């Protein structure tokens, strides 16, 4: 049996209204046990709720990517006034009261409740520090991206190096893979270009430019069917993508689908005339 805490007690520990705790639960921060119509929370739920509350309260001014996941802890251990977070095992006494064992310390469930706010504050600070560090890395990566973009014409090798350093800081910058793919394609390394575009799409599937670029590379590899699929996806995501419409028309004409070819040519014309 796992010791749990009622909603009112959790709200008191976190220092927030019960409605905000419910909102965090609805957002998927944790999954408390439902007993009748009441919610019961574990220590792990408390850790997640307090960390999520701290990240919400911090509200970075201009986040440019997803907030890093908070690293959970297994349990909370209290030793006197100094509270530490470490992995422990839980057992139960004959009376049913929870006992936490961590090193030589034994803390009853009641004592842990009294110190849980202090321990959760430690988790919150660690979570915020991780979020701030990740944001700093992303900002540095974006700076390297801008540098690389400016260097592409005059110093392609330097641009590639800057793009790679940006990825070391933030592997989820899909635009970096798009630009590296374009440079590989321009250098005649079509297979490498396709792999880089596919990597970009694995991160950001709804990028019409990445779909368009991989379609161009697939055309060069004579994979017309796959190229058509990516052009179609590009115009679904951006109906005003004239070049993608034109290339679809061209490939449909080549494969004898003249009705579809005409459809996309008419869209191109309306876009050129400013009527679409």
| pLDDT score of 202 | 95
For 123-148, how does the pLDDT look when each residue is reduced to its tens digit (9 = 90+)? 667 777 777 888 888 899 999 999 99
**Sheet of strand 38-41, all strands in order from the earlier edge strand to the far edge:** 5-6, 38-41, 33-35
CA–CA gap between residue 213 and residue 190 (Å, rounded) = 11
Positive or negative CA dihedral for 201, 202, 204, 206?
positive
Distance between the two ends of the chain, CA-based, in angstroms?
64
> Which run of H or of E encompasses 65?
none
| pLDDT score of 273 | 84
| pLDDT score of 231 | 95
Entry pTM: 0.56
Beta bridge partners of 91: 99
| pLDDT score of 206 | 93
Tell whether the model's pLDDT for residue 207 goes beyond 90.
yes
CA–CA gap between residue 241 and residue 250 (Å, rounded) = 15
Average pLDDT of the residues of the chain:
77
- Lowest-pLDDT range of 15-29, 68-82, 239-253: 68-82
Q: What percent of the chain lies above the pLDDT cut of 70?
A: 72
For 34-84, how does the pLDDT look when each residue is reduced to its tens digit (9 = 90+)? 888 889 988 888 888 887 776 556 554 433 333 333 333 322 222 233 333
Q: Give the strand pairing for 33-35 and 38-41.
A: antiparallel
8 A C-beta contact, residue 218 and residue 230: yes
CA–CA gap between residue 265 and residue 269 (Å, rounded) = 6
| pLDDT score of 10 | 87
The secondary structure of 194-223 as a DSSP string is: HHHHHHHHHH-TT-HHHHHHHHHHHHHTT-
CA–CA gap between residue 219 and residue 91 (Å, rounded) = 63
DSSP type of residue 82 = E
């Amino acid at each position: 049996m796992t010791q749990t805490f009622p909603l009112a007690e959790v709200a008191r520990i976190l220092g927030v209204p019960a409605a905000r705790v419910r909102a965090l639960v609805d957002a998927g921060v944790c999954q408390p046990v439902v007993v009748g119509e009441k919610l019961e929370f574990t220590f792990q739920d408390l850790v997640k709720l307090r960390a999520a509350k701290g990240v919400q309260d911090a509200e970075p001014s201009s986040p440019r990517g997803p907030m890093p996941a908070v690293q959970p802890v297994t349990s909370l251990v209290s030793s006197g006034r100094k509270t530490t977070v470490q992995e422990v095992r839980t057992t139960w006494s004959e009376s049913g009261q929870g006992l936490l064992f961590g090193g030589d310390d034994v803390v009853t469930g009641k004592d842990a409740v009294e110190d849980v706010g202090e321990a959760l504050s430690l988790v919150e600070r660690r979570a915020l520090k991780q979020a701030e560090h990740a944001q700093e890395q992303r900002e540095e990566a974006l700076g390297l991206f801008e540098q690389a973009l400016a260097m592409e014409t005059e110093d392609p090798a330097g641009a590639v190096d800057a793009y790679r350093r940006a990825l070391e800081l933030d592997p989820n910058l899909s635009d970096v893979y798009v630009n590296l793919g374009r440079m590989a394609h321009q250098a005649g390394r079509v297979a490498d270009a396709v792999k880089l575009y596919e990597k970009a799409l694995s991160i950001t599937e709804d990028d019409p430019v990445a779909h368009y670029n991989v379609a161009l590379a697939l055309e060069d590899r004579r994979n017309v069917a796959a190229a058509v699929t990516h052009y179609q996806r590009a115009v679904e995501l951006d109906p005003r993508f004239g070049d993608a419409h034109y290339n679809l028309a061209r490939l449909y004409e080549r494969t004898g689908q003249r009705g579809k070819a005409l459809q996309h040519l008419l869209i191109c014309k309306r876009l050129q005339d400013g009527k679409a």
